[in-house]
Amino acid sequence: MQRALLSSCPRAGIRPRRPRLPAYRQLHALTPLRHSAPSAGATISQTIFSGIQPTGIPHLGNYLGALRKWIFLQRDSPPDTNLIFCLVDLHALTLPQAPAQLLQWKRESLATLLAIGLDPGRCTVFEQSRVPAHTELMWLLSCGASMGMLNRMTQWKSKSGEAVKEATSVPALKLGLFSYPVLQAADILVHSATHVPVGEDQVQHLELTRTLAASFNHHYGPTFPIPQTILSPAKRIMSLRHPTTKMSKSAPDPKSRILLTDSPSTIQSKLASAVTDSIGGITYSPAERPGVSNLIEIYAHMSDRSDFDAVAAEFQDAGMNMKGLKEKVGEAVVVGLEPVRRVYERVVGESGYLDEIARKGAEKAKESAEGTLERVKRAVGLL
């Protein structure tokens, strides 16, 4: 993966140490790579689609919950599997963004995807806004999406509930926020994706995608494969400062999250200030000890381990206190992220290279999307 990056960007002079990647067997065990073809006897190559909003440098929760999974898919999927990874910049506009800031975030996000090991020669990496077929299909799907379906989306109910709580007029909430699950469905279906890696908080949106695809197939004939779920074995990584809430880019306290580009000293400093508790010993109990349990999970994931209780028992048997636990977790995170940070620092300044990657990725994505859009238009009578 890194060799492909080097060969296409000789000026960067990148010679990173290749990060060790844990086995991907857990994902295969959860969701076998199989799919429903749109018609009996049809043969469809497997296509995996996933996306991330370019709203700042990804943090450790993004990495363990989504981005590292993309690397496993790139490494372990059969050679004929289509891998499509998207910077969903149109989704970022559901909240107000400063134009110059969004442009910078897009560049930084693309550099981060290359730094973690995505190979543009193996997969399609592109910006959503460069492929108009996404929004065209969104409109066509919107015509079959009921208000009731969208009102039931948990994230919408959460946002509208916040508006009521903050005495904000619910009618003032934006259409983009209400309808973005339909754009998310279009992102997936326009590439005829057969599999979609999702976290726990996105399962409902994928179910909406499956419903819209099945409804379209019912009314207009077999058009879309029904995408299958690939669940991540990694649980949500929680905030270092408020361990009962998910780690977030938008949290006001920068010490609540570890960015993939943080220096070793910054990582250690943030972990040193992580909220734990005053209970003696090291035990794994998310309900009773969320802060300590979050640190144990981070250490386990960065060390390619899955038995959190066993990890906690080892720390306890070693007589480790909270300070020692935080230092141990910091060491694991620093070792795991150091190769990513080094590559990022070299690549982010290569404007010409990043622009070329974005352009070529958009060309490949257009080829994938425009064929689907033409079939849809013919099905509904537009062509």
Identify any residues that bridge with 198 across adjacent strands, giving them in sequence order. 231
Single out the catalytic residue among 235, 249, 364, 366. Answer: 249
Question: Looking at 165, 174, 235, 246, which residue is catalytic?
Answer: 246
Catalytic residue at 255?
A: no
174 carries an active-site annotation: no
Q: Assess contact for 139 and 189: CB atoms under 8 A.
A: no
Mark whether 159 is an active-site residue: yes
Catalytic residue among 69, 106, 159, 326: 159
Q: Which residues are catalytic?
A: 159, 246, 249
